Amino acid sequence: MTAGTWLNRFLSRSLFDARWVMAPFYFGLVLALVALLFVFLRELFWHLAHLLELTPTSVILMALALIDLSLVANLLLIVTLAGYENFVARIESGEEKRPSWMGTVDFGAMKMKLMGSITAISAIALLRIFMKLEEGAPMNRYTLIWMTIIHGTLMLSALVLAISDRISPRTPSAPSPPAASPPPTGR
């Protein structure tokens, strides 16, 4: 084996094995998911402790806050599992336990789920502000304007991403088989 071949194999193998550097990032996302669960439970128990004081609007705000946390948790889970499977290694968990989407979420689908979740989280934040305005809570006009602009920008970004994902080729097209030659004539 020549030095050039050995160096090429060493570099290729080192770069390929570098994917394991991503594993601590995904474990960190799992820890963030646990922290989010703590915040979710704290929020839920605080509202349940004040159940008799809740107005219809405050119940809706509570539900929106919990939905918001749930969307972020789903986002963390999708990014963690799909990212690990796409960039590090296949997760071996037994087929009966695997959600149906695992192994099918590629980088493009992960980007779409990410933008969809971020846009939904932005919409919920905006809806929460509108609900607070309905209750008569004071709101800075510029904050409301900027939140609306940011939400519109996120929606536009998601639309552009969806269109570009739709028009981009999925896989390289396979060469078409040669046309069959016409049958011989009986002459």
How far apart are the C-alpha atoms of 134 and 67, rounded to whole Å? Answer: 20
Taking the model in full, what pTM does it have? 0.66
Given a contact cutoff of 8 angstroms between Cβ atoms, the answer to whether 124 and 64 are in contact is: yes
Q: What is the pLDDT of residue 35?
A: 96
Q: How far is CA 24 from CA 29, 30, 42, 80, in A?
A: 9, 10, 27, 11
Which token pair is 94?
A: 């037994």
Given a contact cutoff of 8 angstroms between Cβ atoms, the answer to whether 69 and 125 are in contact is: no
Q: Which residues contact 36 (CB under 8 A, 6 or more apart)?
A: 69, 72, 73, 76
Backbone angles phi, psi at 9, to 5 degrees: -65, -40
pLDDT in tens, the chain (187 residues): 677 788 888 888 888 888 888 888 999 999 999 999 999 999 999 988 888 888 887 888 888 889 889 988 988 988 888 888 877 877 776 666 666 666 666 777 777 878 888 888 888 888 888 877 877 778 778 888 888 899 999 899 888 888 887 887 765 544 444 544 555 555 4
Residue 72 neighbours by CB distance under 10 Å: 19
Q: What is the pLDDT of residue 102?
A: 64
How far apart are the C-alpha atoms of 90 and 17, rounded to whole Å? Answer: 14
Q: What is the pLDDT of residue 174?
A: 44
Q: What is the pLDDT of residue 85?
A: 82
Q: What is the pLDDT of residue 103?
A: 64
Q: Where are the domains of the chain?
A: 15-91+104-166
Q: How far is CA 40 from CA 32, 65, 101, 124, 178, in A?
A: 12, 9, 25, 16, 60
Q: What angle do CA 71, 76, 77 make, to 5 degrees?
A: 95
Which token pair is 125?
A: 């934040």
Angle at which helices 23-49 and 56-87 pack, to 10 degrees? Answer: 170
